[in-house]
Amino acid sequence: MHYINGENLNIKMINDIIFSDQKIDLTDKAKERINKSRNTVEKLIEKGEVIYGLNTGFGKFSTKKISADKIIKLQENLIISHAAGTGEPLDDNIVKTMILLRVNALAKGYSGIKLNTLNTLIELFNNNIIPLVFEQGSVGASGDLIPLAHMVLPILGKGKVKYKGEIIDSITALKNEGIKPIKLDSKEGLALINGTQMMSAIESLSIIKAKRLANVADMALALSLEGLKGIREPFDKRIHQLRPHPGQIKSAENIRILVENSNLMEDRDDNRVQDSYTLRCGPQIHGATRDSISHAIEIVEREINSVTDNPLIFPDSENVLSGGNFHGQPLALSSDYLGMAVSEIGNVSERRTAKLVDSSLNNGLEMFLTKHGGLNSGYMIAQYTSASIVSENKILANPSSTDSIPTSANQEDHVSMGSISARNLYKICDNVANILAIELLTAAQAVDLRTDNPEDDLGIGTYKIYKLIRNNVKFLGEDRILYPEIKTIKKLIESNLFSNEINNMIDVT
């Protein structure tokens, strides 16, 4: 059980909760804050004050006062009318993370929600009742109104959910788990859907993927260096201390550790002074992405512990203040930035793959890494696949945050498009896993063509990487269908097995 307090959730906790299927609950202090905030809302309603979101319409209808007998209907209509998403359903892990992050934000006690309402949302999470949330609809203005409305529908007994591997009516899943649907009261609809939790959920999970990809990129570079008989000198610690970007220093250190005791790396000589940039500048390129990930973590961890709905309830002063904390600009910009940074890992990886398969560039190995070229194509076409994915990433990496289309009759006259930025980032991460899988396969093939004794000739770290590949994919002696092998290596990347192999050598957290 993980206790949520609205204060200290971080990327590591999200990873542990979501991927270890932990259950969640609120701390006692969070419950106290929630009840105090709710009591304030009810006092203000009793006084008859006109307050946005409590007894008025929404958006352009904010000037329309709603009578007391219509407040419950108002909140239900808000959720129903906003459940207008389209496209494919979001991954289950994204939706569960959305719930987790919304619970964390509401736990801070500035939103006026009832404790029972929030507990019902927690019951969905703990019983793996996954609301069917569609990927398209949010413009990242008043947060992620549309996807969050889909997330909320099931606690009202409406909409569809994924439950035990099937898509069924939410009311059926609730009955199976003994959960009673609720009726929303004043302010509760807004409290549930006015926030940035789709954007922040997708970016949080993308950061988890990106950190893993940064580690695997260093491993792929190290193995490619040995397959290509790369020069050691560019990874000398002294070089990187003179340009002390933390990510660059970390990547260079990783390479040095992984290739330690390698007989395949070479020293500079008069005939070969420098390697090309894809090898020599690997730490600088990978390191810049690492620093971008660190920046994104700072933004996201601040966001997921923030209050992002509107209006905000301040119980101590009994003030209700309207503002714009729901605007997704911080996440839109950081997702775009991180998308570009992660795509660069794929860019340089594909160039190393191209170098590995080209006999004019691979330092004496066979064309396309096959001994019987002509009859066999070897890894020729795998590089095509890598190139096509890199090109796709170049489109996905174009920033969405530079666009804005006004909504709500120009009440929301600047929107962040952060949900699109986050979705593109998530796809880029998936694509880069495939690109790195192809590089790892070609690098292992190059090593086998380079030496008959990988255990003796590879570095102490790269041999572990090589062995994991060869335990799952055999040497390519003759042409065979490659797509299952690319998929296999991608799964090893995504399941963190590459990092697990060397976690006692380099820091892969």
Question: Do 8 and 110 fall into the same domain?
Answer: yes
Pairing, β 134-136 against β 86-89: antiparallel
Which tens digit of pLDDT belongs to each residue from 95-143? Answer: 999 999 999 999 999 999 999 999 999 999 999 999 999 999 999 888 8
Which tens digit of pLDDT belongs to each residue from 332-389? Answer: 999 999 999 999 999 999 999 999 999 999 999 999 999 999 999 999 999 999 999 9
- Cα 301 to Cα 7, 211, 214, 260, 293: the distances in Å are 10, 15, 19, 36, 12
Label residue 492 by pLDDT band (50, 70, 90).
very high
Q: Which of 3, 52, 384, 466 is catalytic?
A: 52
Question: Do 175 and 217 fall into the same domain?
Answer: no
Last residue of a domain, one of 148, 165, 195: 195
77, two tokens: 């209509």
Element (H, E) at 238: helix 237-241
What pLDDT is recorded for position 289? 98
Question: Do 149 and 272 fall into the same domain?
Answer: no
Q: Is the residue at 277 inside a domain?
A: yes
Q: Report yes or no: 197 and 98 within 8 Å, Cβ to Cβ.
A: yes
Q: Phi/psi of residue 310, each to 5°?
A: -160, 135
Q: Is the residue at 406 inside a domain?
A: yes
Q: How many domains does the chain have?
A: 2
Q: Residues 76, 81, 82, 87: is their CA dihedral positive or negative?
A: positive
Q: Is the pLDDT of residue 149 over 80?
A: yes
Which tens digit of pLDDT belongs to each residue from 173-193? Answer: 999 999 999 999 988 998 999
3-state secondary structure 124-176: HHHCCCEECCEEECCCCECECHHHHHHHHHHHHCCCEEEECCEEEEHHHHHHH
Q: Is the residue at 508 inside a domain?
A: no
Last residue of a domain, one of 163, 195, 227: 195
Q: Which candidate, 194, 463, 237, 508, places its Cα nearest to that of 324?
A: 194
Residues 6 or more apart whose Cβ sits within 8 Å of residue 431: 343, 346, 389, 392, 393, 396
Residues 6 or more apart whose Cβ sits within 8 Å of residue 467: 454
Question: Do 173 and 255 fall into the same domain?
Answer: no
The whole domain housing 329 covers: 203-502
Q: Phi/psi of residue 421, each to 5°?
A: -55, -45
Question: Do 179 and 233 fall into the same domain?
Answer: no
Three-state DSSP at 390 gives helix
Which tens digit of pLDDT belongs to each residue from 46-72? Answer: 887 777 777 776 666 666 776 777 778
Q: Of the given ranges (23-27, 127-131, 350-354, 500-504), which has the lowest mean pLDDT?
A: 500-504
Q: Is the residue at 295 inside a domain?
A: yes
Question: Do 385 and 488 fall into the same domain?
Answer: yes
Question: Do 349 and 382 fall into the same domain?
Answer: yes
Q: Among this protein's residues, is 52 annotated catalytic?
A: yes
Q: How far apart are CA 456 and CA 464, in angstroms?
A: 12
Which tens digit of pLDDT belongs to each residue from 414-431? Answer: 888 899 999 999 999 999
pTM of the model: 0.96
Question: Do 187 and 244 fall into the same domain?
Answer: no
Label residue 507 by pLDDT band (50, 70, 90).
confident
Question: Do 129 and 210 fall into the same domain?
Answer: no
Which carries the bigger pLDDT value, residue 300 or residue 503? 300
The CATH number of residue 237's host domain is: 1.20.200.10
Mean pLDDT of the chain: 94
Q: Report yes or no: 262 and 227 within 8 Å, Cβ to Cβ.
A: no
Q: How many CB atoms lie within 10 A of CB 322?
A: 11
Q: Is the residue at 180 inside a domain?
A: yes
Mean pLDDT of 78-83: 93
Which tens digit of pLDDT belongs to each residue from 265-308? Answer: 988 876 777 899 999 999 999 999 999 999 999 999 999 999 99
Q: Which residue is associated with the tokens 């174009």?
A: 398
Question: Do 272 and 403 fall into the same domain?
Answer: yes
Q: How far apart are CA 101 and CA 7, in angstroms?
A: 11
Which tens digit of pLDDT belongs to each residue from 192-249? Answer: 999 999 999 999 999 999 999 999 999 999 999 999 999 999 999 999 999 999 999 9
Residues 6 or more apart whose Cβ sits within 8 Å of residue 45: 54, 55, 68, 71, 186
Element (H, E) at 340: helix 329-357
Which tens digit of pLDDT belongs to each residue from 386-399? Answer: 999 999 999 999 99
